[in-house]
Chains A and B, each alone.
Chain A
Amino acid sequence: MNNDPLIIAGKAYHSRLLTGSGKYRDLDQTRDATQASGAEIVTVAIRRTNIGQNPDEPNLLDVLPPDKYTLLPNTAGCYTAEDAIRTCRLARELLDGHDLVKLEVLGDEKTLFPDVTATLEAAKILVKDGFKVMVYTNDDPIIAKRLEDIGCVAVMPLAAPIGSGLGIRNPYNILTIVENAHVPILVDAGVGTASDAAIAMELGCDGILMNTAIAAAQDPVLMASAMKKAVEAGREAFLAGRMPRKRYASASSPIDGTFF
């Protein structure tokens, strides 16, 4: 599938699986699972530096070096447009001008559903400020289109709540979003296991961003490998075009030439 790159903001990627770097046991597991997933784009969070702790403690960027991975700073934990914008600007300074960001403005701690009005507001300001915005949103085709029109470089609808592992709850909305789009559509959140990833890709999604499905598996490195294959398999199945569904059987062996 070398001739089928995922293009985000003009840059081509071989892998259609994007991973998060949270919830792993330790940094070794983060590195190993990320490698096994084949991901080229990896999300990171921006938080206060631990003042007064051991300054030699291992750093995330030691296992996810920015020259090897495209780091995607997120605005996780932000409940206002202002906090999200502030986080993106700090991330850009932190990563020497790197301007690809994952925008999420959350509405509620219980569901972690996006606050779409605040998301639209933040997206407008960030795009104007020169950021390349990959935006987390709900599975609403109208809002997805608005976010594209604002200038987001990728729109990332949830398939189910963040960290829920409930799978693709509304495949028809995801399909409508994909059909309407002129920017990459990536399912972000909700995938629980490999078949969920394959389903999202078979719907025509351009990629999937996941964290918990890998990190919270019993064996995260093995699940990362499974997800890599599922995303590739789902993509190939989408491109191949599935057979039509029929209610009754259709024999695979010819009827002609039977001798009984």
Chain B
Amino acid sequence: MQITLNGEKKSLDDGTHLSQLIEQLGIEGKRIAIELNREIIPKSEHASYEIKDGDTIEIVHAIGGG
């Protein structure tokens, strides 16, 4: 399936869960927040949330800013 991750197209295996995507990206355990189709998916739901074809995902973190 195809998703849009942080503004870029990405192919994923069907049935991938959000927590599996986080592991594939090597950012498990990092302080991040995830928005899926403009809805925030709380950390507690990452493991159970199955990504669907066409989903738009934003993964954000904190950086320096004033």
Which stretch of A3-11, A19-27, A169-177 is in the interface?
A19-27
CB distance from A101 to the nearest CB of B (A): 12
Partner of A49, one of B32, B43, B64, B65: B32
Q: Is the CB of B31 within 8 A of A74?
A: no
Q: A49-B59, A51-B6, A59-B30 are in contact. Are A90 and B64 (CB under 8 A)?
A: no
Residue of A nearest to B41 (CB): A93
Which stretch of A38-46, A124-132, A223-231, A244-252 is in the interface?
A38-46
CB distance from B52 to the nearest CB of A (A): 19
Q: Is the CB of B64 within 8 A of A22?
A: yes
Give the complex CA separation of A48 and B59 in angstroms: 6
Q: Is the CB of A94 within 8 A of B66?
A: no
Q: Is the CB of A20 within 8 A of B66?
A: yes
Partner of A61, one of B6, B31, B35: B31
Chain B, interface size category, equals 20 to 34
Q: A21-B64, A23-B66 are in contact. Are A94 and B32 (CB under 8 A)?
A: yes
Which residues of A lie under 8 Å from residue B34 when comparing CB positions?
A: 93
The B-contacting residues of A in range 47-74, CB under 8 angstroms, are: 47-49, 51-52, 55, 59-61, 71, 73-74
Give the complex CA separation of A23 and B64 in angstroms: 7
Give the complex CA separation of A211 and B63 in angstroms: 14
CB distance from A50 to the nearest CB of B (A): 8
Per-position 1/0 for B40-58, Cβ under 8 A of A: 1011000000000000001
Give the complex CA separation of A20 and B27 in angstroms: 25
Chain A, interface size category, equals 35 or more
Which residues of B lie under 8 Å from residue A74 when comparing CB positions?
A: 65-66
Q: A49-B6, A90-B33, A93-B42 are in contact. Are A30 and B59 (CB under 8 A)?
A: no
Q: Is the CB of B35 within 8 A of A90?
A: yes
Q: Is the CB of B33 within 8 A of A51?
A: no
Residue of A nearest to B30 (CB): A59
A145 located at the interface, meaning its Cβ lies under 8 Å from any Cβ of chain B in the complex: no
Which residues of B lie under 8 Å from residue A91 when comparing CB positions?
A: 33, 62
Give the complex CA separation of A95 and B42 in angstroms: 11
Q: Is the CB of A49 within 8 A of B60?
A: yes
| Residue positions of B touching A, CB distance < 8 A | 5-8, 25-27, 30-35, 38, 40, 42-43, 58-66
What are the 10 tightest A-B residue pairs by CB atom distance, in nearest-first order? A45-B65, A20-B66, A211-B66, A55-B26, A94-B33, A93-B33, A21-B64, A44-B62, A22-B64, A22-B65
User: Knowing that A24-B64, A44-B62, A45-B66 are A-B contacts, what are 10 other residue pairs whose CB atoms are under 8 Å apart, sorted by A's residue number?
Assistant: A22-B66, A43-B66, A49-B30, A51-B8, A52-B25, A55-B25, A55-B27, A59-B30, A74-B66, A91-B33
